[in-house]
Chain A
Amino acid sequence: KQEVTQIPAALSVPEGENLVLNCSFTDSAIYNLQWFRQDPGKGLTSLLLIQSSQREQTSGRLNASLDKSSGRSTLYIAASQPGDSATYLCAVNRGGSEKLVFGKGTKLTVNP
Protein backbone atom coordinates (compact mmCIF):
# COMPACT_ATOMS: atom_id res chain seq x y z
CA LYS A 1 0.00 0.00 0.00
CA GLN A 2 1.38 3.36 -1.04
CA GLU A 3 2.04 5.81 1.78
CA VAL A 4 3.10 9.41 1.34
CA THR A 5 4.84 11.31 4.11
CA GLN A 6 5.55 15.01 4.24
CA ILE A 7 8.07 16.66 6.49
CA PRO A 8 7.85 19.04 8.23
CA ALA A 9 4.17 19.21 9.16
CA ALA A 10 4.49 22.95 9.65
CA LEU A 11 7.07 25.55 8.80
CA SER A 12 7.32 29.24 9.61
CA VAL A 13 9.88 31.43 7.86
CA PRO A 14 10.57 35.14 7.42
CA GLU A 15 9.80 36.72 4.09
CA GLY A 16 12.54 36.38 1.50
CA GLU A 17 13.91 33.10 2.77
CA ASN A 18 14.45 30.12 0.47
CA LEU A 19 12.90 26.91 1.75
CA VAL A 20 12.52 23.22 0.99
CA LEU A 21 9.54 20.99 1.60
CA ASN A 22 10.02 17.25 1.64
CA CYS A 23 7.88 14.38 0.45
CA SER A 24 8.59 10.66 0.55
CA PHE A 25 6.63 7.70 -0.77
CA THR A 26 6.95 4.01 -0.02
CA ASP A 27 6.22 2.46 -3.41
CA SER A 28 8.46 3.69 -6.23
CA ALA A 29 6.09 2.36 -8.91
CA ILE A 30 4.48 5.72 -9.49
CA TYR A 31 3.21 7.26 -12.69
CA ASN A 32 3.77 10.84 -11.65
CA LEU A 33 4.07 13.07 -8.61
CA GLN A 34 2.29 16.35 -8.08
CA TRP A 35 2.64 19.23 -5.69
CA PHE A 36 -0.52 21.13 -4.80
CA ARG A 37 -1.30 24.21 -2.84
CA GLN A 38 -4.34 24.31 -0.55
CA ASP A 39 -5.62 27.51 0.98
CA PRO A 40 -7.81 27.32 4.11
CA GLY A 41 -11.26 25.93 3.33
CA LYS A 42 -10.54 25.95 -0.36
CA GLY A 43 -9.71 23.53 -3.10
CA LEU A 44 -6.40 22.45 -4.45
CA THR A 45 -4.30 24.23 -7.01
CA SER A 46 -1.83 22.14 -8.95
CA LEU A 47 1.64 23.67 -8.80
CA LEU A 48 3.93 21.21 -10.49
CA LEU A 49 3.60 17.75 -11.99
CA ILE A 50 6.63 15.53 -12.49
CA GLN A 51 6.35 12.47 -14.67
CA SER A 52 8.09 9.38 -13.33
CA SER A 53 10.70 9.65 -16.09
CA GLN A 54 11.57 13.23 -15.16
CA ARG A 55 13.91 14.54 -12.49
CA GLU A 56 12.54 18.00 -11.93
CA GLN A 57 10.08 20.67 -12.97
CA THR A 58 10.24 24.42 -12.54
CA SER A 59 7.62 27.11 -12.49
CA GLY A 60 8.62 30.61 -11.50
CA ARG A 61 10.02 30.55 -7.97
CA LEU A 62 9.10 26.89 -7.54
CA ASN A 63 11.26 23.92 -8.33
CA ALA A 64 10.27 20.33 -7.67
CA SER A 65 12.63 17.42 -7.87
CA LEU A 66 11.93 13.71 -8.01
CA ASP A 67 14.18 10.81 -7.06
CA LYS A 68 11.98 7.88 -7.85
CA SER A 69 14.46 5.21 -6.77
CA SER A 70 14.74 6.61 -3.28
CA GLY A 71 11.09 7.56 -3.10
CA ARG A 72 11.67 11.24 -2.48
CA SER A 73 10.62 14.58 -3.82
CA THR A 74 11.39 18.11 -2.74
CA LEU A 75 9.65 21.39 -3.42
CA TYR A 76 11.98 24.34 -3.36
CA ILE A 77 10.49 27.80 -2.96
CA ALA A 78 12.80 30.70 -3.66
CA ALA A 79 12.48 34.14 -2.11
CA SER A 80 9.35 33.27 -0.17
CA GLN A 81 6.52 35.80 0.12
CA PRO A 82 3.61 36.13 2.57
CA GLY A 83 1.31 35.13 -0.28
CA ASP A 84 3.02 31.74 -0.34
CA SER A 85 1.45 30.95 3.02
CA ALA A 86 -0.71 27.85 2.51
CA THR A 87 -0.65 24.10 2.96
CA TYR A 88 1.42 22.29 0.38
CA LEU A 89 0.38 18.77 -0.53
CA CYS A 90 2.34 16.10 -2.30
CA ALA A 91 0.49 13.35 -4.15
CA VAL A 92 1.44 10.38 -6.29
CA ASN A 93 -0.50 8.38 -8.84
CA ARG A 94 -0.78 4.68 -8.24
CA GLY A 95 0.63 2.78 -11.17
CA GLY A 96 -0.77 4.83 -14.02
CA SER A 97 -4.15 5.43 -12.41
CA GLU A 98 -5.59 8.90 -12.02
CA LYS A 99 -6.23 8.06 -8.38
CA LEU A 100 -4.01 10.14 -6.14
CA VAL A 101 -2.49 9.22 -2.80
CA PHE A 102 -1.83 12.34 -0.76
CA GLY A 103 0.48 13.23 2.07
CA LYS A 104 -0.84 15.14 5.07
CA GLY A 105 0.76 18.33 3.84
CA THR A 106 3.13 20.96 5.14
CA LYS A 107 1.56 24.12 6.48
CA LEU A 108 3.77 27.01 5.47
CA THR A 109 3.62 30.44 7.05
CA VAL A 110 5.73 33.23 5.57
CA ASN A 111 5.97 36.14 7.94
CA PRO A 112 6.28 39.70 6.59
Chain B
Amino acid sequence: GAVVSQHPSRVICKSGTSVKIECRSLDFQATTMFWYRQFPKQSLMLMATSNEGSKATYEQGVEKDKFLINHASLTLSTLTVTSAHPEDSSFYICSALQGGEKLFFGSGTQLSVL
Protein backbone atom coordinates (compact mmCIF):
# COMPACT_ATOMS: atom_id res chain seq x y z
CA GLY B 1 0.00 0.00 0.00
CA ALA B 2 0.89 3.63 -0.24
CA VAL B 3 3.24 5.08 2.34
CA VAL B 4 3.10 8.39 4.13
CA SER B 5 6.17 9.35 6.10
CA GLN B 6 5.92 11.77 8.99
CA HIS B 7 8.92 13.25 10.74
CA PRO B 8 9.90 13.63 13.50
CA SER B 9 8.09 10.95 15.45
CA ARG B 10 8.77 12.66 18.74
CA VAL B 11 9.94 16.13 19.66
CA ILE B 12 10.51 17.89 22.94
CA CYS B 13 10.97 21.64 22.87
CA LYS B 14 11.06 24.64 25.15
CA SER B 15 8.14 26.97 25.45
CA GLY B 16 8.31 29.79 22.92
CA THR B 17 10.18 27.87 20.25
CA SER B 18 8.81 26.76 16.89
CA VAL B 19 8.57 23.19 15.72
CA LYS B 20 8.22 21.95 12.16
CA ILE B 21 6.61 18.62 11.32
CA GLU B 22 6.93 17.11 7.85
CA CYS B 23 4.49 14.85 6.06
CA ARG B 24 5.60 13.16 2.83
CA SER B 25 3.78 10.89 0.47
CA LEU B 26 6.51 8.53 -0.66
CA ASP B 27 5.04 6.76 -3.64
CA PHE B 28 2.17 8.92 -4.81
CA GLN B 29 1.31 12.53 -5.38
CA ALA B 30 -1.10 14.13 -2.97
CA THR B 31 -2.76 17.41 -3.86
CA THR B 32 -4.59 17.28 -0.56
CA MET B 33 -3.26 16.44 2.88
CA PHE B 34 -4.90 16.73 6.26
CA TRP B 35 -3.51 17.58 9.67
CA TYR B 36 -5.09 16.16 12.81
CA ARG B 37 -4.40 16.61 16.50
CA GLN B 38 -5.15 14.18 19.29
CA PHE B 39 -5.08 15.05 22.98
CA PRO B 40 -4.87 12.19 25.51
CA LYS B 41 -8.08 10.18 25.69
CA GLN B 42 -9.69 12.40 23.07
CA SER B 43 -10.66 11.94 19.45
CA LEU B 44 -8.47 12.81 16.54
CA MET B 45 -9.59 16.29 15.55
CA LEU B 46 -9.08 17.78 12.12
CA MET B 47 -7.03 20.95 12.28
CA ALA B 48 -6.68 21.92 8.65
CA THR B 49 -6.76 20.82 5.05
CA SER B 50 -3.55 21.40 3.16
CA ASN B 51 -3.85 22.02 -0.57
CA GLU B 52 -0.85 21.97 -2.88
CA GLY B 53 -0.11 25.40 -4.25
CA SER B 54 -2.76 27.24 -2.27
CA LYS B 55 -3.55 28.33 1.24
CA ALA B 56 -4.61 25.78 3.81
CA THR B 57 -8.16 25.67 5.05
CA TYR B 58 -8.39 25.73 8.83
CA GLU B 59 -11.13 24.27 10.98
CA GLN B 60 -13.02 26.50 13.35
CA GLY B 61 -11.05 27.34 16.45
CA VAL B 62 -7.63 26.55 14.96
CA GLU B 63 -5.32 29.56 14.82
CA LYS B 64 -3.84 29.82 11.36
CA ASP B 65 -1.07 32.15 12.51
CA LYS B 66 0.00 29.66 15.14
CA PHE B 67 -0.19 26.53 13.05
CA LEU B 68 1.47 27.37 9.76
CA ILE B 69 0.91 24.92 6.94
CA ASN B 70 2.91 24.82 3.75
CA HIS B 71 2.15 22.43 0.90
CA ALA B 72 4.76 23.49 -1.60
CA SER B 73 4.96 20.27 -3.57
CA LEU B 74 2.75 17.33 -4.43
CA THR B 75 4.57 15.10 -1.97
CA LEU B 76 5.27 17.34 1.02
CA SER B 77 3.22 19.26 3.52
CA THR B 78 4.68 20.86 6.63
CA LEU B 79 3.03 21.98 9.85
CA THR B 80 4.91 24.53 11.92
CA VAL B 81 3.79 25.11 15.48
CA THR B 82 4.97 28.63 16.17
CA SER B 83 5.81 29.88 19.66
CA ALA B 84 4.79 26.58 21.14
CA HIS B 85 3.34 26.44 24.63
CA PRO B 86 2.68 23.51 26.96
CA GLU B 87 -0.99 23.45 25.93
CA ASP B 88 0.16 22.66 22.38
CA SER B 89 1.58 19.37 23.59
CA SER B 90 -0.31 16.74 21.67
CA PHE B 91 -0.10 13.98 19.08
CA TYR B 92 -0.13 15.43 15.58
CA ILE B 93 -0.82 13.21 12.59
CA CYS B 94 -1.15 13.84 8.90
CA SER B 95 -2.95 12.02 6.15
CA ALA B 96 -2.62 12.20 2.39
CA LEU B 97 -5.33 11.65 -0.16
CA GLN B 98 -4.35 9.29 -2.96
CA GLY B 99 -6.18 9.55 -6.25
CA GLY B 100 -8.89 11.60 -4.63
CA GLU B 101 -10.23 8.51 -2.93
CA LYS B 102 -8.13 6.77 -0.33
CA LEU B 103 -6.52 8.26 2.74
CA PHE B 104 -3.18 7.13 4.09
CA PHE B 105 -1.91 8.26 7.45
CA GLY B 106 1.53 9.09 8.69
CA SER B 107 2.87 7.58 11.88
CA GLY B 108 2.30 10.74 13.90
CA THR B 109 4.41 13.15 15.93
CA GLN B 110 4.27 13.36 19.69
CA LEU B 111 5.02 16.97 20.65
CA SER B 112 5.94 17.81 24.22
CA VAL B 113 6.43 21.47 25.10
CA LEU B 114 8.21 22.12 28.38
Contact = CB atoms under 8 A, between A and B. Distances in A.
Please classify the interface of chain A as helix (H, G, I), strand (E, B), loop, or mixed, using the class held by over half of its residues.
Answer: strand
Interface of A: 4, 36, 41-46, 89, 91, 98-105
Interface residues of B, number: 26
B112 interface: no
Contacts of A105: 43
Interface stretch (B65-73, B78-86, B99-107): B99-107
Given A41-B9, A43-B6, A43-B106, A104 B46 contact: no
Please classify the interface of chain B as helix (H, G, I), strand (E, B), loop, or mixed, using the class held by over half of its residues.
Answer: strand
Interface of B: 4, 6, 9-10, 32, 34, 36, 41-46, 49, 91, 93, 95, 97, 102-108, 110
B45 to A, nearest CB: 8
A98 B103 contact: yes
A42 B93 CA distance: 9
Contacts of A36: 105
Contacts of B10: 41
A4 B93 CA distance: 19
B93 A44 contact: yes
B97 A42 contact: no
B43 A44 contact: no
B34 A104 contact: no
Contacts of B4: 43
B103 A43 contact: no
A89 B49 CA distance: 20
A100 B103 contact: yes
A43 B44 contact: no
B108 A46 contact: no
B44 A42 contact: no
A46 B9 CA distance: 20
Nearest to B59: A99
Given A41-B108, A98-B34, A104 B41 contact: yes
Contacts of A43: 4, 6, 93, 105-108
B94 to A, nearest CB: 9
